[in-house]
Amino acid sequence: MPPDAGADAHYRALESLYAHAPINRFFASELEIADSGVARIRFTVDERHFHAGGAAHGTSYFKMLDDAAFYAANSLVTDRFLLTTQFNILFTRPLGAGPVVAEGRWISGRRRVFVADARLVDGEGEEVARGTGTFMRSRIPLADLPGYRR
């Protein structure tokens, strides 16, 4: 079955929105949305992201997990920007420098509130963290955001 051109255009526009977000100047990363409700972000963690103990600070974990879950959920919404209202994280291993993949997946909700989860996998294929977030439709039209280009 051929891909839905409208959905594909929305996914590419979300990828552009992600690439244009000012926060991503601090994180070498790239978003990929291949299907509805699924997002993958490839990151490179380096020593700028470390805490005093020599591993990635929790803010880095949150950023990666939140972004992957958020974009998985927002892939289902074509008119409005979603906002994170809650996010829970389980840290399972310290994360050092190198490549990391954040895999996000929509779980439930299609109207006002969405639930999505994400996991972080390091360069050796080990899961280092997972999280679950709740996201709410905002009043912000996606079409009004710099970087969202269909």
Interval 5-43: pLDDT, tens: 899 999 999 999 999 999 999 998 999 999 999 999 999
Residue 149 in any domain: the answer is no
Range of the domain at 90: 5-144
Q: Is residue 11 part of a domain?
A: yes
Confidence tier at 2 by pLDDT (50, 70, 90):
very low
Is residue 38, in this structure, part of any structural domain at all? yes
Single-letter code of the amino acid located at 109: G
Better-predicted residue by pLDDT, 47 or 3? 47
DSSP code of residue 124? T
Q: How many domains does the chain have?
A: 1
CB 5 within 8 A of CB 150: no
92 touches 130 (CB < 8 A): yes
Q: Is the pLDDT of residue 3 over 60?
A: no
Residue 9 lies in a domain: yes
26 lies in some domain: yes
Closest CA to 65 of 83, 39, 46, 47: 39
Q: Is residue 70 part of a domain?
A: yes
Q: Given this model, what pLDDT does residue 1 score?
A: 33
Give a yes or no: residue 150 inside a domain. Answer: no
- The answer to whether residue 19 sits within a structural domain is yes
Calculate mean pLDDT across residues 96-105: 97
Average the pLDDT over 90-115 and give the result. Answer: 97
Q: What is the rounded average pLDDT for all residues in the chain?
A: 95
Q: Does 50 or 3 have the greater pLDDT score?
A: 50
CATH number at residue 115: 3.10.129.10
Query: Which one-letter DSSP state was computed for residue 97?
Result: S
